[in-house]
Amino acid sequence: MKATVVVRLKSEVLDPQGDAVRRALGTLGFEGVKNVRIGKIVEIEIDEAHSKDPKDLTERLAKMSDEMLANPVIEDYEVKLG
């Protein structure tokens, strides 16, 4: 089973890297870009024996995200199965 965890900064957290990309896009002629938020995508492949129950798997991935993949103080995450 493949899963994807999308991690992004919480909306109330400033994103200086995203702001730098937004400004650079304008410099390159890509006008009208109002906001850029930088994040990361973590792709995980889980052994079939450990992925039979989608609810349990989603809970396990959320625990992984809380404990290691994301910083819950400043980041949100979204788990996608499949």
Would you call 11 exposed, middle or buried from its count of C-beta atoms within 10 A (0-12, 13-18, 19+)? exposed
Is this prediction's pTM over 0.95?
no
Q: How many residues does the chain have?
A: 82
Strand 75-81 to 39-45 pairing: unpaired
Would you call 31 exposed, middle or buried from its count of C-beta atoms within 10 A (0-12, 13-18, 19+)? exposed
What is the mean pLDDT of the segment spanning 55-74? 93
pLDDT at 1 over 90: no
Residue-level pLDDT at 27: 97
CATH (residue range 2-81):
3.30.1280.10
* 10-58 pLDDT tens trace: 999 999 999 999 999 999 999 999 999 999 999 999 988 877 888 889 9
User: Where along the chain do its domains lie?
Assistant: 2-81
Residue-level pLDDT at 82: 86
Strand 39-45 to 2-9 pairing: antiparallel
